[in-house]
Structure 1
């Protein structure tokens, strides 16, 4: 059985920070993006695939297919899971995917979001989803890049 070495919430999914810092830090060799909209957008999928270094496998799936893949990770894979929203992780958990920890890396400002912690913003619904995830036994923290400190969200809720 393989392992999930990073589960990260980030609006941008794949970007320089993930590709350089987190990929090196975790030793990941398979990136799994779980996002229904991205999975259905061939243009975005092709752009994402161009951002992934050679030798790193990329899967872009909706929630149902993503859950199925993550429950059957091959033994030689170190998986980085990326999703845009906490609700996606809650759906994965409800579909039987286990996570020890989920980090919040990039949830930027939007009309419907308020500042949650420094440059991280969240809606009331997203904060409620954080509570459900934490109540299910999964640790959650804000951790933007590996060489900076992290901050558990328990006290922010």
Structure 2
């Protein structure tokens, strides 16, 4: 069983909050960015690597590669998975990735989305996806950084 410490939804993927604050809080030694676009974009990968401590390894995998290799993770790997959308989480869960808890960190506002908090906006597809994940036993918390008070469960807001 892979040692997944937490999965975070953040449409910015890896940045200062994720790279420094969350990684050190969790004690992660591997950040796995599961994103089809970034897995093929070395420039974005290099930018994300710059904000991570040297003691933390990174992997940039497609969603499918994450599904295919996650169960081969070594016991010593303390994994922090970062994805862009709730739909990415659902793909991973349906693919057999044992995700139990998701931190909903940042989902930008766009036309057609309802703003739930200052950093989280959802559309109908997002709501449906969160409900499906909840039905699959996934729990959620909505914090920007670990020191934030645990916010209301997203399920109470949608």
SS at structure 2 position matched to 1:36: coil
Q: TM-score, normalised by structure 2?
A: 0.93
Matched, 1:142 2:142: yes
Asked whether the equivalents of residues 105 and 119 of structure 2 are also in contact (C-alpha less than 8 Å), the reply is no
2:131 partner SS = helix
Tell me, yes or no, if structure 1 residue 131 matches structure 2 residue 131.
yes
- 2:153 match: 152
Scaled by the length of structure 1, the TM-score of the pair is 0.93
Shift of 1:118: 3.7
- Shift in Å, 1:148: 0.8
Between Structure 1 and Structure 2, the one with more strand by share is 1
Q: How many Å separate the matches in 2 of 1:76 and 1:52?
A: 19
1:36 CA displacement: 0.4
In structure 2, the partner of 1:50 is: 50
Per-residue CA deviation, residues 46-90 of structure 1 (Å, 9 max, x unaligned), is 222222211211000111101123222210011000001000010
Q: Counterpart in 2 of 1:113?
A: 113
Displacement, 1:138?
0.8
What is the number of equivalent residue pairs in this alignment? Answer: 157
User: Tell me, which stretches of 5 or more residues in structure 1 are unaligned?
Assistant: none
Gaps of 5+ in 2: none
Name the CA distance, whole Å, in 2 between partners of 1:147 and 1:51. 19
Q: Output the aligned Cα RMSD.
A: 1.3
Per-residue CA distance 1:8-51 (angstroms, 9 max, x = gap): 00011111111221111100000000010111222212222222
Q: Aligned-pair distance for 1:2?
A: 4.1
The C-alpha deviation readout for 1:95-134, integer Å capped at 9, x for no partner, is: 1111110110111212242212343111111111001000
